[in-house]
Amino acid sequence: MTSFRYLIIHGHFYQPPRENPWSGTIGLQPSAAPFPDWNARITRECYAPNAVARLLDNQGAISKIINNFEYLSFNIGPTLLMWLKDYDVRTFNLIKEADARGAQRHRSHGPAMAQVFNHIIMPLANSRDKQTQVLWGRAHFEKTFGRPPEGMWLAETAADSESLGLMAKAGLKFTVLAQSQIDALRPLANGRDGGWTVLESPPDPRQPYRLFWGKGQNDFIDAFVYDGPVSRAVAFENLLRDGAAFLDRLTQAFGSSGSDSPRLVNTATDGESYGHHFHFGDMTLAWLFNAVESQPPSEPNPIKLTNYGEYLAQYPPVLEGRLVENSSWSCAHGLERWRSDCGCHTGGGPGWNQKWRTPLRDGLNWLRDELKNIYLTAGARLLHDPWAARDDYINVVLEDYRPEAQDAFLARQAKGSPGETERKEIFSLMESQLMSLYMFTSCGWFFDDLAGLEPVQNLRYALRAVELAGRWAGSDLAEGLVSHLRKAKPNDPDYPTGEDVWKKQVLPASLKPEQAAAHLAASQILEIPEVSAEFPLLHQTFSTEIREKGPEKLLTGQVTIKDIRLGQGEPFRFAALLSEGRELDILVDKNLAAEEFTKISRFWDEGGGRSLRANLGTIKPGAQVLTPEELWPSVRQTIMTEQVRDFFEDLLSYTRKSFENYRQLLGRYRRPDTPVNWMDRFIFRVMAETDLEKFTLTMTQGGPVDLDNLAGLLDRESADREAINADLIKKAAADYLLKLLSGLTDPSRPDILSELLKLTLLLKKYPDTTNIWSSQNRWYELWNNVAYVQTLTSAELALFIKIGESLGFGPAVL
């Protein structure tokens, strides 16, 4: 009889909500460079690679691509998955497919687990927030994976009996804890009256335990405790550098047993270990899964990959465990990391402390309670049951605030037939409660300074909640919160107290409707459509008229800014004035009368264009006049880039005329022993990046690209290695390669395979920096698409195989 050794590798994949609560987009995060934000960076380093993890043969060629999520046990935080759905739908779909395939492999038990919605520390929350976090986490899971979840991950595995009970009542069967979170055991067979055996060492992680949260015999949820030493080795001891060493360590963890009883090894770590924290960790994981799956049939005691749901269905607990109340996996002091200066931190600077955690927690707790009172008082007039309505609101959020979802929500929850005013009041209350939950996201306390990205993000959610609920507040909610922040002392010397963080980083992030109107007016007069994309949660309706005098422009118009979450829109009139010197002024006013609006156009028509700038603010006393310096950083950057483009066009045109003469001069005097000086480097770089700009523009417009010219650029890089940023050229070439591969199914491009082969052979000469990862993924998808391959002639198939070989695939694939 085969005696299985069961293996579960669990990955906790999570990012906090990072979107600006007014615009719905993530602002630029310089610390994530060269990516625009941390979601994008970690997706490229971890989430996406694990969905297409490479196995290499002995020659370093790709022998197989594996979706690690199919073999893992995993949870992915809802706030991360919602972002992936919008910004990397391919990875999002691969994760969903992995859960479906994993369920087929494991007796209908999928590898995905749910997670409390936005990763709050559950024992530090009030009972209502705990319930909403569980119900929202479950609802998101069902919406994403199309099945009810069996297990739920607790943020930081922070647990208390009340939270476990709420999970069980919601239909969850199990969770995962650290070994230190169970301190006593007793046999289930003895009933619940037997004495506890207090543990002197951590409980055995090779079996699950039953945790009772109430007095009834059915008041329980089961828990797995992960193997602490092995999990720490994965997370902190470089175990992911060697797949064979990883497998050997897991094999040792099974121990020896003289019986045929099942033995389980399960590990749990941050999923970011597999690629973000440890480069190529995704490939190590793929090697491990492939090694386990490839065991010979003759193996008498094989390791079998499973997941928690499947294992629990086969082998339910035989022991009851006693929960260490208010415990977690990442703080030796229980929950203190999220409310006090307990000593747990991620590094910080010399002399840093986390005393700021307490006033931040106290201030947000105070604000939560004020918002709760407002919600219950105002909600009682508008809603049948305010708490039931809040639990139900997730169905609006998950439908991206579609009007149909909002209408259905009101039909279920609202009293009577709410008009436009009542609709806006209801959704303002619901959004204030959403923000109230978001402001407790655990990352706000996990790191080392109040002025860091995560605490600031939590405070932005707090400000948005204050704005939404302010009409019902009997006092200044913002001042109440700031009174607590004044007691907080950040470590960054630029912020003497938390109030300075509030003023410098939180308040400027607020987007007023008139600011949005100004941004959109700027996008119209400067013809920059990207600016409009900054506000996906704001629906804009434009009516504009433009007047031009040479390089000067006057744009007048009206715009309605409608927050899709709240319903009602606000109309604004605006006038945007662009001078000959590319200076931009924008007047925006909600109450600009028609005759005043007409006065601006008439003044321009009568020749007062130059003096209009000085008088723009006097047209309507009190009207707001904005300049580009007052716009959002990302919008300001886009506008600046566009405005200086003309200047650089002139400069580069002049430089190009001189370039060939300069090269001829160098050709006469330069020898191999002549060093490249700063003038050479400057000229070469300017000209190469100018060519790159042209190359990229042609690529963006659909090509075709002159590949001989590209080869010349790369050859020039070889001759002037010290001067040219070759990585930029190669990245553009790799982007074009992906574009060509994506167009392979286009019948209007019969020559595309030949062009692809020429490009892949060219890029193969520069494997050190060329990023062809996405192109490899696309080729592999097509190679496994039987319908596509069958459309190829024998000659085309030969070309396609050569392209795969040039992209790094080995004989096992080809």
Instruction: Please give the full DSSP string across 191-209, using - where no structure is assigned.
Output: TTSSPPEE-SSPPPTTS-E
| pLDDT reported for residue 59 | 93
3-state secondary structure of 111: coil
Dist. CA 376–CA 295, nearest whole Å: 60
Which tokens in the block code for residue 419?
A: 């008009």
Q: Which residues of the chain have pLDDT under 70?
A: 1-2, 257-260, 529-534, 608-615, 617-623, 633-635, 638-639, 642-660, 662-664, 666-667, 669-693, 695-697, 699-702, 713-729, 746-750, 766-770
- Give the ranges where 240-356 is alpha helix by DSSP (H): 243-254, 281-293, 308-314
Burial class, 741, CB count within 10 angstroms (exposed 0-12 / middle 13-18 / buried 19+): buried
pLDDT tens figures, 182-219: 999 999 988 887 789 999 999 999 999 999 999 999 99
pTM above 0.75, yes or no: yes
| pLDDT reported for residue 256 | 74
Instruction: Please give the full DSSP string across 710-766, using - where no structure is assigned.
Output: HHHHHHHHHHTTTT--HHHHHHHHHHHHHHHHHTTT-TT-TTHHHHHHHHHHHHHT-
Asked if 443 and 119 count as a contact pair (C-beta separation under 8 A), the reply is yes
Dist. CA 635–CA 537, nearest whole Å: 16
pLDDT tens figures, 332-383: 999 999 999 999 999 888 899 999 999 999 999 999 999 999 999 999 999 9
Asked if 563 and 538 count as a contact pair (C-beta separation under 8 A), the reply is yes
3-state secondary structure of 724: coil
Neighbours of 244 (CB within 10 A): 11
